Each structure stands twice: as C-alpha cells, then as structure tokens.
Amino acid sequence: MSQNWTDDCFASDHQGLTDLQNIENNLQCLKTAFSGDSAPSSPSAGQWWYDTLNDILKIRNEANSAWIEVYDYGNDRVASGKVKTASIADGALTADTTGRAKMADGYVVTAKIGDGQVTSAKIPDGEITGAKLAAATITGNKLQGVTAGTNVIFGSAPTARTTQSTSYTKVKEIQIRRTGSIRVSFDLNCAVETTYYSYGRVYINNSPVGTERSKYNDTTPTTYTEDFSVSYGDLVQIYARSSNASYGAVVSSFLIRGNDLTDAVVNQD
C-alpha cells in the first residue's frame, strides 16, 4: 500500500528509472485508495482514502477541506449519518415479505419513531400480533376513544358518602384511563327527612361541569345521569353540599360507563 503520490512524473531532464518508480507508486496509490492509518499528505478534492486505522473508506470533499466517511467496513455498513431520507427512493423499503426481511427483528425501537408517526394507514390489517407487543406498552392513552353508553363500567364507587358542608365538597373521585365520552351517574338523597336540601354535581378536575342536582326532605336515592367528554387522566368527581349544616347530603352508587371497541354485541337473547 502506498500514499506517496508524485504529481510531476515526467520532464526531459528526469531520470527514467525515477519517473517509472514514481508512476508505479502513483498506480499503487490508486489501486489501494491511498490506504494508510493516517490521512495522505497534500490531498485533492475527490481523492479516496481507505483509513486502515478505523477501517473506513473516505473521500475528500469538493472544497478540499475535510474527509467524508463513505463506508464503515469494520461494521459492514454505510458510514454513520450518511443515509438521508431524501436518499431513499419511494417504495424502496417495501411492506411485503421481501422488504421486511431486510430489517432485523427488533431493529425499530421507540427512540427511532417520532410521536404520532405510526398511523393505521401504515399498518396492514392484522399485521401486529400480541407476540410483537411488549407487555404493558399500550396504555389507555393510545387506544381509540370510547363513547358514552352503558355496555362497560369503567369505574364504580358505590359506597354512600355524607357531607354536612354547606359549600361544595368532593365526596367521590375516579380517574379516567381513556379518551372520549363517558356516561356518569350517581345517587343523591337526604340523610334525614326534614326541611332541607341536599345538592350534588359532577366535577372534572375540580371544576363544575354537570347540572346541579337537588333532593328536598327525601331519604330515597334518586339516580342522576349525564354524558361528558374526557381526556386520558382526567379526574371525574362528585361534589356535594347541604343547605343545613346540621343534616347531611348523601351520595352513593357513583358509576362511569361507556361503549368500548372490545364490547361484545348481543344479537339474540
């Protein structure tokens, strides 16, 4: 291997043997891509250099100011950072068996995928099986939204809770693990039958969103139901108050229900 390049290999006053040796050295430089463990001296734009120390093929840039890595032979791959999105032809990475076989199992990790980049349009029906999903990787935040309904109980807090506060006080709370719309119901009644009101209302994240409900002089529970839009992680709450600090407002049977994509549909009963 040689890196000794001679530009002036011929002149009338040169020794023939010297010129022939220089020509031979130049051909050896070209044959071995200027192989060596350090950069060739006095490089030119477009010149190749096989860096034997790092086992990488390089080329001199057009400005003749730096060496550009082309191929990493030590790792048998294109040099790091050299494959750009624009360099890949449309359809080059196919979705068929042949295309998928070009990618090693487990090669695409979450760090390589931007948030929201993988949509249903990119995945054929039935292509992702349970064996390809790591345990606990799909959360409610990544599932399609639910709709208000009665098929599935998402949360239940049935215990009767009483407050004698005359200001709205939180008595029940359920955190939502899905996005969409939900159906909220709760029972409200008075603790004793006497002349006062019990009030109840749905809150989300400590802000009132539901219709204010009331019961007067009645210990029989009444169920109130409303639908609300929610996001993953929202806190759905029941706040209650009494018109008389001597008597309690009672809230019970707090339910959150909806319809889910995994619901079974009864076609005949």
Task: Please indicate, yes or no, if residue 59 is contained in any of the structural domains.
Answer: no
d(CA 45, CA 61): 6
Query: Cα dist. 190→54, 215, 264 in Å?
Result: 82, 7, 38
- pLDDT tens digits for the chain (269 residues)? 577 777 776 666 677 677 788 778 778 878 888 888 999 888 889 999 999 999 999 999 999 999 999 999 988 888 877 777 777 777 777 777 777 777 777 777 777 788 778 777 777 777 777 777 777 677 777 777 788 888 888 899 999 999 999 999 999 999 998 889 999 999 999 999 999 999 999 999 999 999 999 999 999 999 999 999 999 899 999 999 999 999 999 999 999 999 876 656 655 65
Task: Please indicate, yes or no, if residue 202 is contained in any of the structural domains.
Answer: yes
Query: Cα dist. 125→119, 144, 145, 261 in Å?
Result: 12, 16, 19, 16
Task: Please indicate, yes or no, if residue 222 is contained in any of the structural domains.
Answer: yes
Q: Tokens representing 76?
A: 């048998």
pTM of the model: 0.57
Task: Please indicate, yes or no, if residue 175 is contained in any of the structural domains.
Answer: yes
pLDDT for 41-75, tens place per residue?
A: 888 899 999 999 999 999 999 999 999 999 999 88
**Which CATH number characterizes residue 228's domain?**
2.60.120.260
Strands 222-230 and 48-51: unpaired
Q: Looking at this protein, which amino acid is placed at residue 210?
A: G
CA nearest neighbour of 29 among 15, 10, 43, 11: 43
Could you tell me the residue range of the domain that residue 162 belongs to?
147-259
Task: Please indicate, yes or no, if residue 210 is contained in any of the structural domains.
Answer: yes
Region for residue 105 given its phi and psi (left: phi exceeds 0; alpha: psi -120 to 50; beta: otherwise): beta
Across all residues in the chain, what is the average pLDDT? 86
Task: Please indicate, yes or no, if residue 121 is contained in any of the structural domains.
Answer: no
Task: Please indicate, yes or no, if residue 160 is contained in any of the structural domains.
Answer: yes
pLDDT for 36-47, tens place per residue?
A: 899 988 888 999
Task: Please indicate, yes or no, if residue 33 is contained in any of the structural domains.
Answer: no
Q: What is the pLDDT of residue 96?
A: 75
- Number of folded domains in the chain? 1
Stated as kind and residue range, the H or E segment containing 20 is helix 16-31
